[in-house]
Amino acid sequence: MVKEKPNSIRIYDKDGYRRRAACICVRSEAEAEVLLVTSSRRPELWIVPGGGVEPDEEASLTATREVLEEAGVMGQLGRCLGVFENSEHMHRTEVFVMVVTQELDEWEDSKTIGRKRQWFSIEEAMSQLALHKPTQRHYLQQLRHSKHRTTSSSDPPPIISENDNDDFTSEPVMNNCTAPDDAAGEKDTTTESTPTTPPACTTTVTDDDGEPTTVADTDSLPPTSTT
């Protein structure tokens, strides 16, 4: 059963990428085990919990909301691992780390679509993600490499390509650019460049995998000038 959010509105950044957020849930500060949930499309396979950013919502709030809905856990939200860019499907996912402090016996998705959760070692999680969502292995790679780094809270999160460095043995590939303003917590997505027609928001069935399932609603686009 595919998870449905009939009133969901897709939010895009100034570059036309759909904004998403996800959370790497760890069992302790040792970060040796991570929590995965079953896919709503293919319940025999596992994914990292996450979903689309909603209007007027910070990415950190999206991450905590999604893990409560999809995994039924709460905890202490920690560092941001980066903004993971998927140029094929045109979305950027801001990924956070959460140390889980509470696991509910029942939660929204367990009751509505029978979603399950399970703890895995990092190595096991990498193997499970390779079966269905191989690009999400970049999240775990960055988890490993960022654990002992010290960064300023004022530094924007790096944009990390999900399409490069698929051997997962070396440092993640980071694009030579800064994070989009809205991914860094700013709500103003205007630019000084020549205005272009923004992507349409869509009201659609939304699944947990972050892939487009419908075309844009062209009725929501502003009228174009004929002068």
Q: Which residues are catalytically annotated?
A: 69
Contact 26, 97 (CB under 8 A): yes
Give residues with Cβ within 8 angstroms of 213, minimum separation 6: 204, 205, 206, 207
Q: Among candidates 89, 87, 62, 95, which has minimal Cα distance to 175?
A: 87
* Amino acid sitting at position 126: M
Q: Where are the alpha helices (DSSP H) in the chain?
A: 59-71, 108-112, 122-132, 137-146
